[in-house]
Amino acid sequence: MGLKIYNSLSRQLEEFSPLKEGHVSMYSCGPTVYDYIHIGNARTALVTDIIRRYLTYKEYTVKLVQNLTDIDDKIIDRAHTLGLSAHELAHTNGLAYFEDTQRLGIQAADIHPKATEHIPEMIDLIQILLDKGAAYVVDGSVYYRVNAFSEYGKLSHRKPEDLLAGARVEVDERKEDPRDFDMWKAAKPGEPYWESPWGHGRPGWHIECSSMAMKHLGETIDIHAGGEDLLFPHHENEIAQSELATGVPFARYWVHVAFLKIDGKRMGKSEKNFILLREALDKYPAEVIRHFLVSAHYRHPLDYSIESLQTSESALRRLNNCLDTLKKFTTDIDESIDTQDDLTTDDNSLVSAIDTMQSGFIRAMDTDFNTAQAVGSIFTLVSTVNKSIAKNNGISNHIYTHAYNALIETCEVLGIYSTNEQDTGKTDEYLDPVLNLLLDIRQDARNRKDWDTSDMIRDRLKELNIEIQDTKEGSTWKFIS
Ligand code: AMP
Ligand code: ZN
């Protein structure tokens, strides 16, 4: 079975087949840089990152473009409030966006085009649409004539009457049809502007993505991604502009990410119920936040809560503990499992658990990037390995090496394991002195033959998934699954 992607355009799970064999072009709508991003925005950015990582894992060459909307009403208003220029505000927040997403382990796109650096391309595209009779100029603004595109509504699956009902809410006398939208906005006094054949003004949001996507990826792109709120009107309008201009399909697979919610409501700036990504990253390692965000399939809403992050934190502790222990058994000798004919029953059952994990992981990710199930496969193997280590059943080192490599490879696709010692070691660094203190107290109790206190410490720690091991050299602790 190959990769299947749910395409919002057809509303079906479709076999993925890129336009050019072995290559994938992907465009993802990036942030409007008027403020820091919250973890809802991060969910959408992370899904793009994971799709790209998985396609790369499947040996596609991926070209990812993610824009920055660095001019729009929100940027102008906020800059005005803060006494900054729109450019200054967008520049600062653009840098903050890269800083935050990099901290979350999101790999930079191949190109991050800025709207303000593509004004000539936008003007050219608007001119093409004007020449085709698909646009009109009113008082220095240029509007797209929705009526000129017979397939308008094909992405959002809205009927013309639904579209009209929605568009009527904001009545604009200058439009021929309430559904028409601006591609070029005439400058209002005091606003930043660019020269154009229609006078001073600035581009509309939809034309930005159409022209930047086509400039960097060509007229037809393989995958276009964004949050579910962008499906209509943003993506519907991108299709209308691009397809009417070129006459060919604009994007072949449309991927929309469901909202991150908090207390059942969409996390959003306007709702004032957001948690900034940088605040979350100050409290939790990136891998914990990533684990939480991939714990649901991207088309399902996900609820934010401290408890969910704590669950992810303890899951990652188990994973790191397992990998750290496995690492001690790893060998550099490149022995193929197939050539080993002296495998024990325990060896064989671990080999088959590794195979099950790998095939489960691929099956899950091939089914529309089902990260929730993929994580499930990984953690099933983690439990098996932990049990096997605890049983101390003499598994060969090269099989533990195989388990280690398989886990690292799959975890890296999801970005839930970092080889950065500083990150992964944080918890132990913090817990070590506290637990050593407890072990000293317990040892003291044992010296006094106070077995009740000694057992109570051991049992209570066990409830917290921490196991004490008493050896001749003294007591040690470790996480258990
Ligand atoms: P904005 O800053 O509102 O333009 O959003 C930037 C990106 O984040 C867009 O792709 C949105 O669809 C997405 N987004 C905004 N809020 C959420 C949320 N609560 N959950 C998931 N994605 C979101
Ligand atoms: Zn866009």
- Tell me the per-residue pLDDT of 213-246, one tens digit each, with 9 for 90 and over: 999 999 999 999 999 999 999 999 999 999 999 9
Does the structure show a pLDDT above 60 at 424?
no
Q: Quickly state the pLDDT bin for 165 (edges 50, 70, 90).
A: low
Q: Can you tell me the mean pLDDT for 452-463? A: 88
Length of the chain: 481
pLDDT of residue 328: 86
Q: Which ligand is nearest to the CA of 29?
A: 2
CB-count exposure of residue 152 (10 Å: 0-12, 13-18, 19+) = buried
Does the structure show a pLDDT above 50 at 423?
no
Q: Quickly state the pLDDT bin for 421 (edges 50, 70, 90).
A: very low
Does the structure show a pLDDT above 70 at 429?
no
Q: What are the residue ranges of helices labelled H in 284-370?
A: 286-293, 306-329, 345-366
Kind of pairing between the strands at 61-66 and 135-138? unpaired
Q: Can you tell me the mean pLDDT for 299-306? A: 97
Task: State which ligand 1 atom lies nearest to the alpha carbon of 226.
Answer: 10
Q: Which helix (H) or strand (E) holds 62?
A: strand 61-66
Which residue's C-alpha comes closest to atom 8 of ligand 1?
41
pLDDT of residue 336: 53
Distance 320 CA to ligand 1 centre (A): 31
Task: State which ligand 1 atom lies nearest to the alpha carbon of 261.
Answer: 19
Instruction: Report how far residue 42's alpha carbon sits from residue 36's, in angstroms, rounded to the nearest whole number.
Output: 11
Q: Which ligand is nearest to the CA of 298?
A: 1
N- to C-terminal Cα separation, the chain: 32
Q: Which ligand is nearest to the CA of 242?
A: 2
Averaged pLDDT of the chain: 91
**Residue 372 contacts residue 323 (beta carbons within 8 Å):** no
Q: Can you tell me the mean pLDDT for 162-176? A: 73
Sequence-distant contacts of 325-333: CB under 8 A, at least 24 apart: 325/386, 325/389, 325/478, 326/385, 326/389, 326/400, 326/403, 326/404, 326/407, 327/404, 329/395, 329/397, 329/400, 329/401, 329/404, 330/397, 330/400, 330/401, 330/404, 331/397, 331/398, 331/401, 333/398
Q: Write out the two tokens for 333.
A: 């000798």
Task: State which ligand 1 atom lies nearest to the alpha carbon of 35.
Answer: 2
Q: Quickly state the pLDDT bin for 426 (edges 50, 70, 90).
A: very low
CB count, 10 Å around CB of 193? 16
Instruction: Report how far residue 258's alpha carbon sits from residue 47's, in angstroms, rounded to the nearest whole number.
Output: 10
Q: Can you tell me the mean pLDDT for 28-46? A: 97
Q: Quickly state the pLDDT bin for 463 (edges 50, 70, 90).
A: confident
Instruction: Find out whether the beta carbon of 320 lies less than 6 Å from any atom of ligand 1.
Output: no
Q: Can you tell me the mean pLDDT for 279-291? A: 97
pLDDT of residue 333: 52
Question: Which residues on neighbouring strands pair with residue 254, listed in sequence order?
Answer: 224
Instruction: Find out whether the beta carbon of 31 lies less than 6 Å from any atom of ligand 1.
Output: yes
Torsion of the alpha carbons at 49, 296, 479 and 356, rounded to the nearest 10: -80
Higher pLDDT, 443 or 289: 289
Instruction: Find out whether the beta carbon of 303 lies less than 6 Å from any atom of ligand 1.
Output: no
Rounded alpha-carbon distances, angstroms, from residue 326 to 248, 250, 348, 395, 407: 52, 47, 17, 11, 10
Instruction: Find out whether the beta carbon of 204 lies less than 6 Å from any atom of ligand 1.
Output: no
Give the residue among 28, 37, 29 at the shortest CA–CA distance from 103. 37
pLDDT of residue 440: 87
Cα angle 357-353-378, degrees, rounded to a multiple of 5: 35
Task: State which ligand 1 atom lies nearest to the alpha carbon of 69.
Answer: 4
Does the structure show a pLDDT above 90 at 295?
yes
Does the structure show a pLDDT above 90 at 402?
yes
pLDDT of residue 293: 98
Q: Can you tell me the mean pLDDT for 57-86? A: 96
pLDDT of residue 395: 83
Does the structure show a pLDDT above 50 at 422?
no
Domain boundaries, the chain: 4-283, 318-414, 423-479
Write out pLDDT tens, residues 134-159. Answer: 999 999 999 999 999 999 999 999 87
The pTM assigned to this predicted structure is 0.86
CB count, 10 Å around CB of 336? 8
Higher pLDDT, 447 or 29: 29
pLDDT of residue 425: 44
Q: Quickly state the pLDDT bin for 106 (edges 50, 70, 90).
A: very high
Higher pLDDT, 451 or 50: 50
Q: Which ligand is nearest to the CA of 66?
A: 2
Instruction: Find out whether the beta carbon of 43 lies less than 6 Å from any atom of ligand 1.
Output: yes
pLDDT of residue 289: 98
Instruction: Report how far residue 108's alpha carbon sits from residue 102's, in angstroms, rounded to the nearest whole number.
Output: 7
Write the DSSP assignment of 375-389 as a string of letters.
HHHHHHHHHHHHHHH
Q: Which of 44, 104, 238 to mutate to test the pocket of ligand 1 (most atoms within 8 A of CB)?
A: 44
The domain 318-414 is classified under which CATH number: 1.20.120, 1.10.1070, 1.10.730, 3.40.50? Answer: 1.10.730
Distance 223 CA to ligand 2 centre (A): 13
Distance 17 CA to ligand 2 centre (A): 23
Instruction: Find out whether the beta carbon of 229 lies less than 6 Å from any atom of ligand 1.
Output: yes
Task: State which ligand 1 atom lies nearest to the alpha carbon of 28.
Answer: 10
Q: Write out the two tokens for 269.
A: 């700036």
Q: What are the residue ranges of helices labelled H in 448-472?
A: 451-463
Q: Quickly state the pLDDT bin for 332 (edges 50, 70, 90).
A: low
Distance 44 CA to ligand 2 centre (A): 12
Q: Can you tell me the mean pLDDT for 9-22? A: 98
Q: Which ligand is nearest to the CA of 304?
A: 1
Instruction: Find out whether the beta carbon of 268 lies less than 6 Å from any atom of ligand 1.
Output: yes
- 3-class state of residue 173 by DSSP: coil
Distance 75 CA to ligand 1 centre (A): 16
**Residue 415 contacts residue 290 (beta carbons within 8 Å):** yes
Q: Which of 41, 273, 292 to mutate to test the pocket of ligand 1 (most atoms within 8 A of CB)?
A: 41
**Which residues have beta carbons under 5 A from ligand 2 (an ion)?**
29, 209
Q: Can you tell me the mean pLDDT for 289-305? A: 98
Does the structure show a pLDDT above 90 at 286?
yes
Does the structure show a pLDDT above 80 at 432?
no
Q: Can you tell me the mean pLDDT for 91-104? A: 97
Q: Per mean pLDDT, which of 207-216, 267-276, 341-350, 419-428 is the most reliable?
A: 207-216
Instruction: Report how far residue 45's alpha carbon sits from residue 56's, in angstroms, rounded to the nearest whole number.
Output: 17
pLDDT of residue 431: 74
Q: Can you tell me the mean pLDDT for 187-191? A: 94
Instruction: Find out whether the beta carbon of 32 lies less than 6 Å from any atom of ligand 1.
Output: yes
Question: Which residues on neighbouring strands pair with residue 302, listed in sequence order?
Answer: 260
pLDDT of residue 360: 98
**Residue 319 contacts residue 347 (beta carbons within 8 Å):** no
pLDDT of residue 216: 98
Instruction: Find out whether the beta carbon of 30 lies less than 6 Å from any atom of ligand 1.
Output: no
Q: Which ligand is nearest to the CA of 239?
A: 2
The CATH class, in words, for 4-283 is alpha beta
Does the structure show a pLDDT above 90 at 334?
no
Which residue, chain included where needed, has tokens 């709207």? 115
Q: Which helix (H) or strand (E) holds 303?
A: strand 302-304
Instruction: Find out whether the beta carbon of 230 lies less than 6 Å from any atom of ligand 1.
Output: yes
Task: State which ligand 1 atom lies nearest to the alpha carbon of 227.
Answer: 12
**Residue 114 contacts residue 67 (beta carbons within 8 Å):** yes
Does the structure show a pLDDT above 90 at 116?
yes
